[in-house]
Structure 1
Amino acid sequence: MTDGTSPPAEPGEFDVPGEPVAVHAPAGTVIGRRIGRTRRFLGIPFAEAPTGARRFAAPVPRGRFTEPFDASRHGATAQAVTLFATTTVPEPSVPGADVLNLAVVAPAADDCREPFPVMVWIHGGGFLAGSPASPWYDGRAFARDGVICVTVGYRLGVDGFAPLADVPANLGLRDLLLALDWVQENIAAFGGDPDQVTVAGQSAGAGAVLALLSSPLGSGRFHRAVSLSGVTLDVGEDTARDFLERLGHRLGVSPTRTGFGSRTVERLQQGVIDLRSERGDGPLVLGPFVGDDILPVSITDGFTVRGHDVPLLLGATGDEFDSGAVGGATPEKSHPSPVDTAARAAGTRVTDTLFRAVCPRAARSRRKADAGTWLYSFEWPSPVLGGAAHCVDIPYFFDVLDAPGVTQALGPIPPAELATLMHADLVAFVRGPEPAWARATGAPGDPAREYGRPGAALAADTTGVFDPVARTLSERAEER
């Protein structure tokens, strides 16, 4: 998520009418809507609402529905306050207590000759914000192509990631693990294959994917992983606790479960956003925390011993947070200046150190993994944002160029053929065959799939995309 151009969407804006359709699952009867060849089941609670005594507690599985559940509208979102007045990704906040819910968008039941593969999508937002109800995450193109898309909500900010005494760490990740359990138990009723589940996400959502891949508790809950612009920054205890001390002082409460529990989620989120802005903090002030049963070691260290049976596709955009005004460019500048080019070649930009460095680092840590690692790089420059900016690859991978907010971020004529190609590559990965390009090992000259570079083919299998960072990693390894 970035400071961008699209206003926040209104709740319910993307709900659509349709013919009622029922699914009888272990969770109970769920009533969704059928539109053409697509079935949509929105806002299904997978856990009890995290309120009262359940706030700041591990998630509790939702009891079986005793009455048919109406899944015709998006459920409540954990986001009560957006990070920015405008965001690149439209991110509606939906009020309500049942924030631990998910949506299932599936092909028509009569198209089910064999179980459909499943993609579980985790939204971004710096672990502080974001919404699974965004129209950019609509799974209709996946359903069209025979893949069930599940979008998941999880607790954010203090409620999801604050390391507090007498509170289980990484509550947001625990929410996601429970959602994956729900998928394992219920997705067959929607026509899905619980043995063919891909967990995918972007930005903080991709960071959550990498954390789950590194975690001993992630084993067996998913079978493939996709990280779009993921980060592996583990928030240090001192950093988090210092931030929480300041936040408590700002809100007039002790930085404890009782103190923060006396404030509404909305008040806490606004306080975090205001304090983060005033202090000029980096992109992560709260997030995955190392030292518990979910992350006993750092995410990168976990890669060396876990997740080796899970194929991983990961990559980043070419400019991430170095596009537009952030990178010194104007919105009209879609080609880098010599200064930009030199910084990119040196691997010194925020984009390179925070996002692109993750790619060869993960590949190197997983070089002995039997399942394999594949890299991609998204290079298409948005004429609006002045580069291949953070988030602008999402509508291409989801093939939703007609979604609200896309032209405001990508311009009036984003290339549809690029969306067709990128979406097909992602669908193919979810289905299971190895990608057509070679595996990566984190070494200089690693192969990568490159999308949308000006003057080149829409997709090119090339080498050296991540060389500056990979070379540094190799040199450090040799020194050790």
Structure 2
Amino acid sequence: MSNIPSPHSTEQPASAESATAEFVEVDTQAGRVRGCWRPTTGGRGRARSAGFLGIPFAEAPVGELRFAAPVARRPWEGVLDALEFAPTAQRGDPGVTLIPEPSVPGESTLNVNVFTPSPERAAAGEGLPVLVWIHGGGYFAGSPASPWYDGRNFNRDGVVTVSLSYRLGFDGFGWISDAPSNRGVRDWLLALEWVQNNIAEFGGDPARVTIAGQSAGGGAVLTLLGMEAAQHLFHGVYAISGALADIATDRSEKFGRDLAAAAGVAPTRAGFSALDEDRILELQKKATELGPESMLAVIDEGLPLGPAIDGDLIRRSTQESLRAGIGADKPLVIGATDDEFSMIFFEAQKKLRWIPKSIMLKKLGMQKQNMKPYLAANADVARKGTARIAGRYLTDKMFRTSVPRLVALRGDAPTWVYRFSWPSGTFGFAEHCLDVPFFFDCLDGVAIEPLAGPNPPQRLADEVHGGVVSFIETGEPGWPRYTEGSRQTRVYDTPSSVVTDGYASVRPLL
């Protein structure tokens, strides 16, 4: 976002000076905000996008609000400059990540970024459709300040776009005996309430909101799809490589008690409030480090921090909720890349070629009775070596098996399934996060080549992004619905195609 000028101030009164072609102002329920115009790319549709960055939807979660449910932002006077990304819940240097997601220091971490081609109030039923994006990062990392999440090219195609922030790690999801559960989930809900109450001022239609996310963000939108309390806040779901948490109550409580014991404090708000942010992050990192044994636990049980089944906000697992028909009226697009986690073994390919595939898969937890049918169903991958079949198995256990499983639970609910199969020019397979710049149509953006290689195909981005826009606008992405009778699956590749039972290779694990 280097082309957005620095703010004149944090809050200032409206003036004639700001009413220029460069800047644009919009009224929200809490006060007036100032954004600015930027160009879109691609040479079609709308040529300009107005960006409003870092609009607070909640008070800063510090002090007495640190481990509390989010509180809606109190009104401000004058005009709030929304020209730079606001503080993020992610702290410090995230290191080398697949998606550029910078950290921004500061306390007021609960914000939305709004991108719109039409920053004028829309009458009821006349606004543009809306996409709300929830970032990934394993529920402990990630940032909405990524240049990949800029909605300018969705704006070009007539879609208002919002990205939101939420509390991460223990602050967002850790069990505390006398604190509200699932604080990060409550942040999602309040941000979506903000969209319902304010998006018409930015030209959007609150009756046409699609929520989408990738990895933990994909898990987030699936969690919301199965929550009774969230149903009025959105109208469609696009889940990319969804990593569901659904942490059992006792597991969540044990993690919280163990963290408190390691810190030498009571497992209460007062106890944890006695620890500064850095200390909790240090303890959290130590408790979630992945060794051989803990890696197997994550494969079998999922992530240790994330949305937990609390019997209140999240009453049951997402699978049970979908089986019960929650969210059945919402159209859903769901899918994954072919080799989400194969990169884990990428640098060890030569060493692993001497290890028999069956031994490696057994070490990763594969049951003996599944070995032969799984290797047969994935013979094309097995031929590429032990590293590749090990990566495919991790991918299937953590991401791909959930696709046909969740779809089957939805029964006749409107559902579309895809696979992203285009092989990266860097890794030679479709790894985790590779599809995100295609989704946002930002192949000309920063840091694309390390993930995708040189010259990723724009035509494929046109297909992926175009399908998303179609789904947001019409509720259908442009290929046949998935039913248990047809199991038709869109395979994104060069060329793309529609196949029958695109997830047949995971069925030996179901």
Q: Tell me if TM exceeds 0.5.
A: yes
Per-residue CA deviations over 1:137-157 (Å, capped at 9, x if unaligned) read 111110111101100000111
Q: Pick closer, same or farther for the CA change 1:115–1:274 going to 2, 3 Å.
A: same
Q: Is the Cα contact below 8 Å between 1:136 and 1:403 reproduced in 2?
A: yes
Q: Pick closer, same or farther for the CA change 1:318–1:14 going to 2, 3 Å.
A: farther
Report the secondary structure of 2:490's partner residue. Answer: strand
1:206 aligns with 2:180: no
Query: Equivalent residue for 2:53?
Result: 42
Q: Any residues of structure 2 matched to 1:228-243 within 5 Å, and which?
A: 228-243=240-255
Query: Equivalent residue for 1:33?
Result: 36
Structure 1: how far apart are the matches of 2:340 and 2:166?
Answer: 24
AA in 2 matched with 1:409: L
Structure 2: how far apart are the matches of 1:260 and 1:422?
Answer: 44
Q: Where in structure 2 are there 5+ consecutive unaligned residues?
A: 7-20, 40-47, 351-378
Number of residue-to-residue matches in the alignment: 451
Structure with greater Cα Rg = 2
Q: Is the Cα contact below 8 Å between 1:367 and 1:440 reproduced in 2?
A: no
AA in 2 matched with 1:87: T
Q: Is the Cα contact below 8 Å between 2:135 and 2:216 reproduced in 1?
A: yes
1:251 aligns with 2:263: yes
Query: Equivalent residue for 2:64?
Result: 53
Structure 1: how far apart are the matches of 2:169 and 2:269?
Answer: 14
AA in 1 matched with 2:106: G
Query: Equivalent residue for 2:233?
Result: 221
Report the secondary structure of 1:87's partner residue. Answer: coil
Query: Equivalent residue for 1:358?
Result: 402
Q: Any residues of structure 2 matched to 1:312-323 within 5 Å, and which?
A: 312-323=332-343
1:270 aligns with 2:282: yes
Per-residue CA deviations over 1:167-216 (Å, capped at 9, x if unaligned) read 11111111101111100000000000000000100010111100110001
Residue number among 117, 127, 131 corresponding to 1:107 in the alignment:
117
Q: Is the Cα contact below 8 Å between 1:79 and 1:130 reproduced in 2?
A: yes
1:423 aligns with 2:465: yes
Query: Equivalent residue for 1:7?
Result: none
Query: Equivalent residue for 1:65?
Result: 76
1:311 aligns with 2:314: no
Query: Equivalent residue for 1:448?
Result: 489
Q: Pick closer, same or farther for the CA change 1:101–1:249 going to 2, 3 Å.
A: same
Structure 2: how far apart are the matches of 1:341 and 1:376?
Answer: 26
Structure 2: how far apart are the matches of 1:147 and 1:318?
Answer: 28
Q: Is the Cα contact below 8 Å between 2:469 and 2:477 reproduced in 1?
A: no
Q: Is the Cα contact below 8 Å between 1:128 and 1:269 reproduced in 2?
A: no
Q: Any residues of structure 2 matched to 1:116-155 within 5 Å, and which?
A: 116-155=128-167
Q: Where in structure 1 are there 5+ consecutive unaligned residues?
A: 1-11, 474-480
Structure 1: how far apart are the matches of 2:469 and 2:504?
Answer: 28
Q: Pick closer, same or farther for the CA change 1:347–1:79 going to 2, 3 Å.
A: closer
AA in 1 matched with 2:252: A
AA in 1 matched with 2:219: G
Report the secondary structure of 1:96's partner residue. Answer: coil
Query: Equivalent residue for 2:356?
Result: none
Structure 2: how far apart are the matches of 1:129 and 1:198?
Answer: 23
1:285 offset after TM fit, Å?
1.2
Q: Is the Cα contact below 8 Å between 2:56 and 2:110 reproduced in 1?
A: yes
Query: Equivalent residue for 1:289?
Result: 308
Q: Identity rate of aligned residues, in percent?
A: 43
Q: Pick closer, same or farther for the CA change 1:368–1:337 going to 2, 3 Å.
A: closer
Quote the RMSD (CA, aligned, Å): 2.7
Query: Equivalent residue for 1:174?
Result: 186
Q: Pick closer, same or farther for the CA change 1:157–1:337 going to 2, 3 Å.
A: same
Per-residue CA deviations over 1:203-247 (Å, capped at 9, x if unaligned) read 101111001100010111100001000023312233333333443
1:55 offset after TM fit, Å?
1.1
Q: Pick closer, same or farther for the CA change 1:365–1:381 going to 2, 3 Å.
A: same
